[in-house]
Structure 1
């Protein structure tokens, strides 16, 4: 029996791409950012629905699934409220005027309770578990009859050429979902593996054959700073006249990675929404005097090299693409999530109907072959 996927908070489609690559049929993606439509529909081949999650009516999702298909609902709620990288993070939100994005998990739970998909998966930052909103989310799913499990995973253990810790949650009406085993624990993919063959470009230049292989321009002083930085190095190597005032203060010594270069034979640091600027992290190219390009950021997020991010009729807006790529679920990590769900469905007994809750185990399901 076929398994069909609907993706909430889909963005440009990193999570959907992973499920598509693993043979699942992706029916649609929902996201409030309309600028993601081209990338999602062009690459995923599924409908993009521009909608804030709070405005989504459950019946709009239910009607997307075929009558006899396994229903899979996936999502990656924007993680900024929960992330260690934002100063607005709090263990408990302010009672008044707090970031409205705290509401996203509550809206996700509301939709799950009404649609009752067979399996749910959510990806987020590990620190989300510290927040009461997450605890309430899990309790609501359990009360609705779901077996819930969540795991802290390392993206580099699943073939993503990037050191990135994420939380993956599974919930199923048919028993606990086991996480697929790591594929790259011994020898992770590296920066060289991902971008080592990319054509050389200069700061502020786009490659003639790939306009997304574009690097942000640098001021003369920042160019001098980068030239004074070795592979894997940082601002600590600079002459005193190049060091920023903030780094000369006692607290500035903790910012070791800013203005740094990546290392060829290691995974990259976390690709963030600010990954095109050398002042925002270790985003300098290992040897060329520039920050990584948009295309290189996407490759480090394990998007395929032919993924098209921009309509040919539109201009490339680096800030927007960096935000979309940095917010995306790495595709290879998404593939691991999809494999976990595929194995879970394949292990369900053939004697039970799709819609009746059950525990895992029993005979292998011979008709669960077309995902």
Structure 2
């Protein structure tokens, strides 16, 4: 999305994820394997050096970053993937690196872990900056907060942008043109049935002649009966309490609201009982393509694999428009380095 940036090497342990990435980015060298294995690590390092990689981007999970794990911190064995990220940066010594993680990484244990991260990378010669960003402030029709850490070999800290000049967008902006499928309808490849109805849709549809991944979950008759009780943009308070089920969260069995951003899209958006991810009007959860739109993926980006895998790929992703904003910020600041 930003001229001057190109993904040279990508890695994941899930072959379905790699398949999707490789088909959308055919010029990227993809490595499928466990990053903890010496063979995979060596392949990543060797290929990255061959291709002159000067930037490393990742979202290493840090399960041990909790109050209970404070005694071990980064050395907590549950943070092994984070350790591998550090090792890759140490080996490649890129000009820039980005870490994406959960919002509470910063506040966890009164800042103990973020201080450890700074110490770890400063010892490698990096200058760091970090902040919590909300994807909604970059044109993504979703409130999704994440911690972003940017490190550079320059003495100058790179600003983590808090917003840009992209127009704020809503669920209506993202998916109103796709509001025609009922439960169980749709297919992996179909034609557009409606013209775009917003500037966001015009941009997101650019370059895609067909519609991919717009296939509705085939809900059970019991689930459909529940959904029929919920008015447009409503929630489970319209149902008898005995139908609430075991889920205790207030947002379960709730519909998205047309003129608001979506809450955070996760990997279970195809399940009405999971949260506020049912269609604002229709009796079904949102489709993978609708979720991808809310994540700001262009329609030309096709997801491959079974439904469970596709939902996982979409829900775990960093919104592309947020990634674009980070790239633009880095590019701008490197003009003066």
TM-score clears 0.5: yes
Q: Map 1:16-27 onto structure 2 (within 5 A).
A: 20-27=1-8
1:337 equivalent to 2:326? Answer: yes
Shift of the 235–293 alpha-carbon distance from structure 1 to 2, 3 Å rule, reads same
Give how far 1:127 is off.
1.4
Q: Map 1:38-49 onto structure 2 (within 5 A).
A: 38-45=19-26, 46-49=28-31
Give how far 1:99 is off.
9.2
Q: RMSD over aligned Cα, in angstroms?
A: 2.5
State the partner residue of 1:231.
232
What whole-Å deviation, never above 9, does each CA across 1:312-345 have from its counterpart, x for those lacking one? xxxx511111111111111001101111211121
Match of 1:110 among 87, 103, 115: 87
Match of 1:90 among 33, 54, 66: 66
Unaligned runs of 5+ in 1: 1-19, 83-88, 311-315, 349-371
**In 2, Cα distance between the equivalents of 1:94 and 1:279?**
34
Shift of the 124–211 alpha-carbon distance from structure 1 to 2, 3 Å rule, reads same
**In 1, Cα distance between the equivalents of 2:218 and 2:70?**
39
1:34 equivalent to 2:10? Answer: no
Give the conservation status (yes or no) of the 8 Å contact 1:232–1:286: yes
**In 2, Cα distance between the equivalents of 1:90 and 1:140?**
18
Shift of the 27–223 alpha-carbon distance from structure 1 to 2, 3 Å rule, reads same
Q: Map 1:57-72 onto structure 2 (within 5 A).
A: 57=42, 59-66=45-52, 71-72=54-55
- Greater shift in the superposed pair: 30-39 or 143-152: 30-39
**In 1, Cα distance between the equivalents of 2:275 and 2:212?**
24
Match of 1:120 among 84, 89, 97: 97
Tell me: higher relative CO, structure 1 or 2? Use CA pairs within 8 A at least 6 residues apart. 1
Give the conservation status (yes or no) of the 8 Å contact 2:138–2:164: yes
What whole-Å deviation, never above 9, does each CA across 1:196-227 have from its counterpart, x for those lacking one? 11151111222461461112122222112111
Secondary structure in 2 aligned to 1:258?
A: coil
State the partner residue of 2:291.
297
1:177 equivalent to 2:153? Answer: no
Give how far 1:53 is off.
2.2
Give the conservation status (yes or no) of the 8 Å contact 1:105–1:134: no
Give how far 1:241 is off.
5.1
Q: Map 1:104-253 onto structure 2 (within 5 A).
A: 104-129=81-106, 130=108, 134-174=114-154, 175-180=156-161, 182-183=163-164, 188-207=168-187, 209=190, 210=211, 212-240=213-241, 242-244=243-245, 246=246, 252=248
**In 1, Cα distance between the equivalents of 2:88 and 2:286?**
39
Shift of the 158–223 alpha-carbon distance from structure 1 to 2, 3 Å rule, reads same
Secondary structure in 2 aligned to 1:171?
A: strand
Match of 1:51 among 33, 36, 44: 33
Give how far 1:179 is off.
2.4
Secondary structure in 2 aligned to 1:225?
A: helix
**In 2, Cα distance between the equivalents of 1:333 and 1:317?**
27
Secondary structure in 1 aligned to 2:83?
A: helix
TM-score by length of 2: 0.83
Shift of the 53–135 alpha-carbon distance from structure 1 to 2, 3 Å rule, reads farther
What whole-Å deviation, never above 9, does each CA across 1:115-144 have from its counterpart, x for those lacking one? 110111111111123265554332110111
Shift of the 223–148 alpha-carbon distance from structure 1 to 2, 3 Å rule, reads same
State the partner residue of 1:367.
none
Aligned length in residues: 305
Secondary structure in 2 aligned to 1:120?
A: strand
Give the conservation status (yes or no) of the 8 Å contact 1:221–1:242: no
